[in-house]
Amino acid sequence: MEDLKPKTSIKYLEKMGITTLTEKDNGLPLSLGGLEKGISPLQMAGAYATIANDGKYIEPTFYTRIERKNGTTLLYAKQKSRQVFSKETAYILKEMLTEPVQGQNGTATYCKIAGVDVAAKTGTTDENYDRWLCGFTPYYTAVTWYGFDISESINFNQRNPAGLLWANVMSRVHTGLNSATFERPTSVAGVTICAETGKRATTGCQHKYVEYFLLFTKPTETCDKHKGQSLDSNTVDIKPKNNTTEIVKGITDDIDAKEPNPIKDKNTNTNTTTSTQTNKQKENTSNKTNTNTNTSANTTNTQNTNSNKTNNSNSNSNATNNTNNISSNITGTEDTTE
Ligand SMILES: [Zn+2]
């Protein structure tokens, strides 16, 4: 944001339907979600749906059409829509946002839905006043916020209560749907990067990860710190595409508020080259040997990146259908204590 300037970010936020920014928000704390008034869950859902909709913002609506008694249509909802950024940019954002769900140090790993790609971002504010989960699949975008109307700390078990709401509702919403993935545009490529130098990785690099680039922005220099052969990673497609269509089963039991016991399997440390990582998580690469600790332990640096202050009195969660952008309040959370 320092490079792009906060004004540029504000311009894009406004194009994505955010209307509550103030003059005080024009500064670098914006990058951490430090806002004067905050953003409502409904507007946040509209903004995240822009990413899910390949860069196209569609104004949320609470109805699609009204019919007469005889079944003819009296009124269609009119929704403003506009292309905010390219589908290639949207895809790169989607890939980054799968990391909290799929990454070893992910903050939202319990939001996985078997058979469906999930992108999600957790958020928190100082003193645990607010908890957020903003996320989407190829089918739906949903945003949950958990907190009090006034600034008061919330108490909870180990897992983000907004995230638990999100996971329990979204896994049920997807039950019975066909499996689906985020489709990678042909002009976006994965490149294996050396985490230490930020250049293209060689066989000698210890800490590697795949990052996605627009074709003309791919790094050209190869790592000169670690000796090895260059990796031909121009067309890396790290996610094996499953061509068979499966039906999403959803969950049968509620997702626990606590983390399960620490993983006993120590072998999860071997596939650093097959996971996508955001820049933010490069810093964590050196901690990857520490697999016997609780998976939620090393999460603070990503968890804080999207925290938002809010004084919003609406404690509903808003779900937005990605195809026609129906918003509906699916659950109230105000009196929920656990
Ligand atoms: Zn290297």
Residue 236, C-beta contacts closer than 8 angstroms, at least 6 positions apart: 189, 190, 191, 192, 210
Q: How far is the CA of 95 from the centre of ligand 1 (A)?
A: 23
Q: What's the CA-to-centroid distance between 287 and ligand 1, angstroms?
A: 17
- List the one residue out of 191, 43, 173, 47 whose CA is nearest residue 118: 173
Which domains are seen in the chain, by residue range? 6-178+305-332 (3.40.710.10)
How far does the centroid of ligand 1 lie from the alpha carbon of residue 32, in Å?
30
Whose structure tokens read 């006993």? 264
pTM of the entire predicted model? 0.72
Taking a C-beta distance cutoff of 8 angstroms, is the pair 193, 233 a contact? no
pLDDT attached to residue 336: 30
* Residue 199 alpha carbon to ligand 1 centre in Å: 7
Spatial separation of the C-alpha atoms in residues 268 and 63, rounded to whole Å: 46
**For residue 278, how far is its CA from the centre of ligand 1 (angstroms)?**
17
Ligand 1 mean position to 96 CA, how many Å? 21
pLDDT of residue 57: 98
Dist. CA 29–CA 306, nearest whole Å: 10
Q: How many helices (H) and strands (E) does the chain have?
A: 6, 11
pLDDT reported for residue 316: 44
326 CA → ligand 1 middle, Å: 47
The CA 174 to ligand 1 mean position distance, Å, reads 41
Instruction: Report the separation in Å between the CA atom of 182 and the middle of ligand 1, taken as the mean of its atom positions.
Output: 29
What's the CA-to-centroid distance between 222 and ligand 1, angstroms? 8
Write down the pLDDT at residue 291: 31
Tell me the CA–centroid distance for residue 209 and ligand 1, in Å. 11
Bridge partners (DSSP) of residue 44 are none
Residue the block writes with tokens 């697999």: 291
Encode the chain (338 residues) as per-residue pLDDT tens digits. Answer: 999 999 999 999 999 999 999 999 999 999 988 899 999 999 999 999 999 999 999 999 999 999 999 999 999 999 999 999 999 999 999 999 999 999 888 989 989 999 999 999 998 888 888 899 999 999 999 999 999 888 888 887 778 889 999 999 999 999 999 999 999 999 999 999 999 999 999 999 999 988 999 999 999 999 999 988 887 654 455 555 555 667 777 665 667 767 666 554 444 433 333 333 333 333 333 333 333 323 222 222 333 333 333 333 334 445 555 544 333 333 333 333 32
Rounded Cα distance between 200 and 191, Å, is: 7
Beta pairing, strands 327-332 & 316-321: antiparallel
Distance 192 CA to ligand 1 centre (A): 10
| C-alpha 213 – ligand 1 centre gap (Å) | 19
